Amino acid sequence: MNSTISKLFFSALMVGLAACSPVKFDANKADGQAVTPTGEPPTPTPVPCNVETIYRKTKILFVVDSSGSNASYTINIIGGREVETPPTDPQKSFRKGAISDFLSDFSHKSNFNWGFMTFQGTGVEAYVNNGNTMIPSFTPQVQTMSNALNAFGSRTDSGQTPYRAALTAARNGIANDPDLNSAEQPNYFVVFLSDGFPTDYGKDSNYNPSLVNADIDALSSVAPGRVSLSTVFYGTTSIPDAINLLKSMAARGNGQFAQVNTANSNFKIDDVIGTSTCNQ
């Protein structure tokens, strides 16, 4: 009698458990390990992917426009006509401020390395380098990066906007990184900030897009799947052709794009650090 009741109770209990949950336990799995009805472990709840949760070795290179339009009135082509536009960041408060804030927020990330370079005139200047100011490098030292930003703050913005020189230097910096092919397989985030058109792919809005794309592809190919190019257009005047170019560059480079009005913005560098590859 008792045996019959026990069997009925056990059968009812198992039916109830099956109805309540698709998870079951397999005698062939480790003790107490849940499995799905197909016998496989359930998919774990994904961890939110953001800058704070990046745990892979990560190298962030800031490529910053230091051309004359940052500090002086400039003639730009908007809607097919010439328009005089005001200085975009005369005190460097946006460029230096946004990067400094990001550095402060994530200075505790021991897996982060930092790089910083500018482009103006016909060339570049790498403020973090290994002895060659034409080729950027990366440092794990937050103070070294902070010193680079302070040095940038004391320099004069002038000259043209050589995108091509900047992209080439960024590529060379990654290609020369001693950790490029290390077991850690670091990810590289290139954050490219500009207020206007390139001047070394053709004149202003008459740039050659195929050349731009080729240089972005060359940058990405240094470490396939581990390099992203994000872009930021900043200023108080919207220049559609320049915005569209920077947006297309980010798309080509598997990165993010942001448009920032420097007169009133809550922009953070976090907004353009791509999360799709942060821990892959």
User: How many CB atoms sit inside 10 A of residue 269's CB?
Assistant: 23
Q: Name all domains of the chain by residue range, CATH numbers in brackets.
A: 2-35 (no CATH), 51-272 (3.40.50.410)
| Closest CA relative to residue 87, chosen from 186, 271, 234 | 234
pLDDT value for 77: 81
> Mind listing the pLDDT tens digit for each residue in 57-99?
999 999 999 999 999 998 888 888 888 999 999 999 999 999 9
| Stretch 150-178: mean pLDDT | 98
Q: With beta carbons less than 8 A apart as the criterion, state whether 95 and 87 touch.
A: no
Pairing of strands 24-25, 34-35: antiparallel
pLDDT tops 90 at residue 44: no
> Mind listing the pLDDT tens digit for each residue in 237-261?
999 989 999 999 999 999 999 999 9
pLDDT value for 35: 39
Whether the pTM exceeds 0.75: the reply is yes
Residue 38, amino acid = T
